[in-house]
């Protein structure tokens, strides 16, 4: 079978194209050749995090890969058969673990047996969703589609030192996904969150949490807000650190939405907490069921699902637009129609007719 050619310079022109293409190629058994990889990034080509994404998907799908080297701008991926078991990967830097998971999680849903996946790298790093977003928001959204997995955070890893350890367990891969109606959020029922600080004073985590809670309560008086803090005693802190961050999420009638922010040198803890709350409140104000991260993440899952999904996104990000285009190229049978919106960075409603892909064999 001749590989499908995917141009890595389209849309956002970054790693999103690579991750979505790999996942769909592995599942559908369709060879792909990705050219112009990360063409719009300051350092084009495969970086260490992307190498790990390719290796992870290749391992769980028995794929053969050509062009897998640091800086490569072209890659050919020839999928084999999916397999379960235990897998271990080390990014070797503070590269994002959650972005590696974006590539491999769709594939694990269709594994022929239980899977345990350990990845080492960055858990809370810039330009990617933090691990707590995957633990407390994405996992709950995918449960709506019948996909249940457990994310175990063994150790956090911040930029620039990394050293994070995450284990993902999929004891019973579903083998098929149900369509989801995630269009309107509905009324807000409660807020929760987790604020952490490693190799930093306890008050950093506490101040982040207080700032987020104060802002949320000012917009949603009377709605319960519970934000936990995570901190370690000096001498008992296993992290390479230092680093801090916070994720807050809202339970609504029909969904769960999240907002996040990372600490940085010279950035007040109050600003970190306020940023996370502001992102969440901004996305909630649209009335849509999916926040800015989930708005793009769920698109490939919906295209594979059985039935018609409705995805209401708080923002049509360039990542979301790119995922739509990649899915159109690799799964032309999936029906995708923008029912509302279509303007970048504005709310949108996407109808997706999934192909009811099921585990092969």
Model confidence pLDDT, tens digit, residues 54-82: 999 999 999 999 999 999 999 999 999 99
pLDDT at residue number 321:
95
CB distance 295 to 320 below 8 Å: yes
Long-range contacts of 172-175 (CB under 8 A, 24+ apart): 172/114, 172/148, 173/84, 173/108, 173/109, 173/110, 173/111, 173/112, 173/113, 173/114, 173/115, 173/359, 174/109, 174/110, 174/146, 174/147, 174/148, 175/109, 175/110, 175/358, 175/359
Query: Is the pLDDT score of 1 beyond 90?
Result: no
- Helix 294-304 with 318-330: angle, nearest 10 deg: 10
Model confidence pLDDT, tens digit, residues 286-312: 999 999 999 999 999 999 999 999 999
Write out the residue limits of the CATH 3.65.10.20 domain(s) in the chain: 4-181+290-353
Q: Out of 3.40.50.10540, 3.20.20.70, 3.30.360.20, 3.50.50.60, which CATH number does the structure's domain 185-284 have? A: 3.30.360.20
Please state the rounded mean pLDDT for residues 205-231.
Answer: 98
Angle at CA of residue 268, ends 95 and 280, nearest 5°: 70
Model confidence pLDDT, tens digit, residues 139-156: 999 999 999 999 999 999
Lowest mean pLDDT among 29-33, 42-46, 202-206, 248-252: 42-46
C-alpha–C-alpha distance, residues 40 and 186, integer Å: 37
Query: Is the pLDDT score of 198 beyond 80?
Result: yes
Query: Is the pLDDT score of 273 beyond 80?
Result: yes
- 49 annotated ligand binder: no
Query: Is the pLDDT score of 218 beyond 70?
Result: yes
CB distance 176 to 146 below 8 Å: yes
Model confidence pLDDT, tens digit, residues 19-29: 999 999 999 99
Model confidence pLDDT, tens digit, residues 92-138: 999 999 999 999 999 999 999 999 999 999 999 999 999 999 999 99
Q: How confident is the model at residue 361 (pLDDT cuts 50, 70, 90)?
A: low
- Percent pLDDT > 90 in the chain is 96
CB distance 82 to 61 below 8 Å: yes
Write out the residue limits of the CATH 3.30.360.20 domain(s) in the chain: 185-284
**Which parts of the chain are beta strand (E)?**
4-7, 32-35, 64-66, 75-78, 85-90, 115-121, 150-155, 164-170, 181-182, 188-198, 225-231, 243-252, 256-262, 308-313, 335-340, 348-353
Please give the CATH architecture assigned to the domain spanning 4-181+290-353. Answer: Alpha-beta prism (3.65)
Residue 319 falls in the annotated catalytic set: yes
pLDDT at residue number 12:
87
The region that residue 253 occupies, defined by phi over 0 for left and psi between -120 and 50 for alpha, beta otherwise, is alpha
**What does pLDDT average to over the chain?**
96
Strand partners, 164: 121
pLDDT at residue number 29:
96
Strand partners, 285: none
pLDDT at residue number 267:
98
């Amino acid at each position: 079978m001749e590989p499908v050619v995917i141009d890595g310079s389209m849309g956002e022109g970054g790693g999103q194209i690579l991750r979505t293409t790999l996942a769909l190629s592995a599942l559908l058994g369709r060879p792909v050749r990705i050219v112009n990889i990360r063409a719009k990034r300051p350092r084009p080509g495969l970086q260490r995090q992307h190498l790990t994404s390719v290796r992870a998907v290749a391992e769980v799908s028995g794929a053969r890969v050509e062009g897998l080297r640091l800086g490569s701008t072209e890659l050919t991926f020839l999928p084999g058969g999916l397999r379960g078991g235990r897998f271990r990967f080390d990014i070797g830097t503070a590269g994002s673990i959650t972005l590696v998971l974006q590539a491999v999680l769709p594939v694990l849903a269709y594994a022929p047996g239980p899977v345990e996946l350990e990845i080492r790298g960055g858990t809370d790093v810039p330009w990617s969703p933090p691990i707590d977003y995957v633990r407390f928001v994405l996992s709950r959204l995918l449960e709506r589609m019948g996909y249940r997995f457990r994310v175990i955070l063994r150790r956090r890893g911040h930029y620039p030192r990394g050293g994070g350890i995450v284990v993902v367990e999929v004891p019973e891969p579903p083998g098929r996904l149900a369509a989801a109606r995630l269009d309107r959020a509905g009324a807000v029922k409660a807020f929760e969150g987790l604020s952490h600080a490693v190799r930093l004073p306890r008050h950093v985590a506490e101040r982040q949490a207080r700032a987020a809670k104060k802002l949320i309560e000012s917009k949603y008086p009377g709605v319960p807000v519970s934000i936990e803090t995570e901190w370690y005693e000096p001498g008992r802190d296993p992290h390479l650190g230092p680093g801090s961050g916070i994720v807050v999420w809202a339970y609504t009638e029909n969904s769960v939405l999240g907002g996040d922010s990372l600490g940085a040198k010279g950035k007040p803890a109050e600003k970190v907490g306020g940023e996370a709350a502001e992102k969440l409140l901004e996305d909630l104000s649209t009335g849509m069921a999916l926040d800015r991260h989930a708005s793009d993440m769920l698109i490939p899952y919906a295209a594979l699902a059985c039935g018609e999904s409705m995805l209401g996104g708080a923002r049509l990000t360039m990542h979301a637009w790119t995922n739509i285009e990649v899915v159109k190229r690799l799964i032309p049978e999936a029906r995708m129609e923008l029912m509302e919106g279509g303007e970048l960075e504005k709310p949108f409603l996407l109808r997706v007719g999934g192909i009811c892909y099921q585990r092969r064999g």
